[in-house]
Structure 1
């Protein structure tokens, strides 16, 4: 899969196929609804024997068009590297990452079509019913059809629902915030994942008999709610069952404790310092609790381990 960064205005040496199918959207989370859209684009391209590409952006469009409605420190369900990994699995040939420079961000809808989309040699564009290419009150799919005027085909994909609920990044975030991992993973179509670098911590886990890998994660990643989880951790090419805590070590308070992510890999005894690991969140076990002393915490950790082992046996 090729990855190209698009800077507006385009360079004259931009390499493009004669015709291609384009799936457009930000696709944070790449959930089942997004996958349905992209798979539609892949099928169209394969039928016509032309390449299929995805157009996404270097930051969430809301940060540009609705900055008052989102935190400037926006956290993503799928940071760019994770998004690219998932797109490659879906069979995409090329990913275009459009940079929201000031000129591009303030393009009028007509100019976006004429000076951007038309330059990509489109045979067809596939997008969700709610895709916008500017202020959402104006630059919607109805206006897109008018501006394109049949110069390429437009396929509008409706929302994908589970029961009465729309599968959306918003609902997935809400599930992750409340520890509803089964629902979040169901809507995603895969197990939610974060990535972190193993760093040195206070080594409290080792002193308690439950050594942990302390994971330092980038601020752009969306982290599930505080608590203890059944998880899997990828070391090299192997996934290891683990119980993982997201919390502030409130039993051993040292002033204002920072948030830590500590994974105890079951039946594992290797040095992980300095390694980058992927962690999948499978099930929420319990909230973080302040215990009276270390012995009470150890007893609970044994129970957490038993519940984690039971999860994997099932």
Structure 2
């Protein structure tokens, strides 16, 4: 017989404090069971109401990583399609839950499932009677699952990464493969690693930030302090929105084609169109010194 599980269901976008607290409660309720998280990909709204799909805080692999770090033994990704959206509550239980042999299912009190959100925690409990119990957990006061994900998105939009850390206990991270840019940064003495934001993911407001760059292809996960720019390079009339990270005091890094992570810690300023390269270079020197100070204070 398969080991019994305690199953937690949710989108888990960003895996914030509310999610982590929910997972801990689930584990405490069944300490001898395997903790399984069911998450949906893509976001259900992208299928049900595409025009209302939120910008996601992280991609699927980052979500898996954060759930595992939060203590989940197995992450089950339910590919959300129009067929899945049409499942009745009974079909959802038969297809998504019963194969996992749950002893207990933990959801938020506002959890809805099945075609046109026909199912709620009460119905889930009835469908699982004699097989598993259902815990419907109240929303957390510091912003619960869906609502706090929304709060985090607003904070990212505004570049308020202190608030992001308050809500998630982690820095906001973007990942991507380094692409070749205009090479102007190298000409000015600030070579940058450029990534293009992935469609559908949240992107900080245009501006300059303090943070870190980590190369993800390295066994030692080398991590360096960085000055980060988000935007279109208005001084040079750019049009493509990019994330550009300059690793402080390094001009010897070869990162083209390398997958990197860019972690955002603090916002310095908004994006400005300068009157020529000399004015921009002067500002970049000032930005780098401010980044150095901020990250040194951050430890």
TM-score, normalising length from structure 1? Answer: 0.86
Quote the residue 1:61 is aligned against. Answer: 44
Q: Is the CA contact 2:59–2:201 (under 8 Å) kept in the aligned structure 1?
A: yes
1:150 Cα deviation after fit = 5.2
Q: After TM superposition, list the pairs within 5 Å mapping 1:132-151 onto structure 2.
A: 132-134=112-114, 138-149=118-129, 151=131
Q: Is the CA contact 1:214–1:263 (under 8 Å) kept in the aligned structure 2?
A: yes
| SS of equivalent residue, structure 1 residue 264 | strand
| CA 1:84–1:115: 2 relative to 1, 3 Å | closer
1:158 Cα deviation after fit = 1.9
| SS of equivalent residue, structure 1 residue 209 | coil
| Uncovered stretches (5+) of structure 1, i.e. residues with no partner | 1-15
Q: How many pairs align?
A: 290
- Structure 2 CA distance, aligned partners of 1:301 and 1:242? 12
- Structure 2 CA distance, aligned partners of 1:213 and 1:116? 42
Aligned partner (choices 199, 222, 240) of residue 258 of structure 1:
240
Q: Is the CA contact 1:17–1:51 (under 8 Å) kept in the aligned structure 2?
A: no
Query: C-alpha offsets along residues 33-73 of structure 1, whole Å, 9 cap, x if unaligned?
Result: 0111112223333x2x2211111112112223333433xxx
Residue 90 (str. 1) matches residue 90 (str. 2): no
TM-score, normalising length from structure 2? Answer: 0.90
1:283 Cα deviation after fit = 0.3
Quote the residue 2:88 is aligned against. Answer: 108
Quote the residue 2:232 is aligned against. Answer: 248
Q: Is the CA contact 2:111–2:120 (under 8 Å) kept in the aligned structure 1?
A: yes
| SS of equivalent residue, structure 2 residue 14 | coil
1:106 Cα deviation after fit = 0.5
Residue 19 (str. 1) matches residue 1 (str. 2): no
Quote the residue 1:206 is aligned against. Answer: 186
- Structure 2 CA distance, aligned partners of 1:192 and 1:86? 12
1:81 Cα deviation after fit = 0.5
Residue 226 (str. 1) matches residue 206 (str. 2): yes
Q: Is the CA contact 1:172–1:184 (under 8 Å) kept in the aligned structure 2?
A: yes
| CA 1:207–1:68: 2 relative to 1, 3 Å | closer
- Structure 2 CA distance, aligned partners of 1:62 and 1:130? 16
| CA 1:148–1:203: 2 relative to 1, 3 Å | same
Quote the residue 1:157 is aligned against. Answer: 137
RMSD, aligned CA:
2.0
Pick which of 286-295 and 57-66 moved more: 57-66
Quote the residue 1:308 is aligned against. Answer: 291
- Structure 2 CA distance, aligned partners of 1:265 and 1:119? 48
1:214 Cα deviation after fit = 1.3
Query: C-alpha offsets along residues 107-160 of structure 1, whole Å, 9 cap, x if unaligned?
Result: 112332245423321100111122221357532223323333353111222222
- Structure 2 CA distance, aligned partners of 1:226 and 1:194? 14
- Structure 1 CA distance, aligned partners of 2:116 and 2:287? 46
Quote the residue 1:9 is aligned against. Answer: none
Quote the residue 1:276 is aligned against. Answer: 259
- Structure 2 CA distance, aligned partners of 1:114 and 1:80? 25
| SS of equivalent residue, structure 1 residue 103 | helix
Query: C-alpha offsets along residues 61-112 of structure 1, whole Å, 9 cap, x if unaligned?
Result: 2223333433xxx632121100111112122221111122443221112332
Query: C-alpha offsets along residues 176-195 of structure 1, whole Å, 9 cap, x if unaligned?
Result: 11111110121011001010
Pick which of 291-300 and 110-119 moved more: 110-119
Quote the residue 1:177 is aligned against. Answer: 157
Quote the residue 1:34 is aligned against. Answer: 19
Quote the residue 1:13 is aligned against. Answer: none
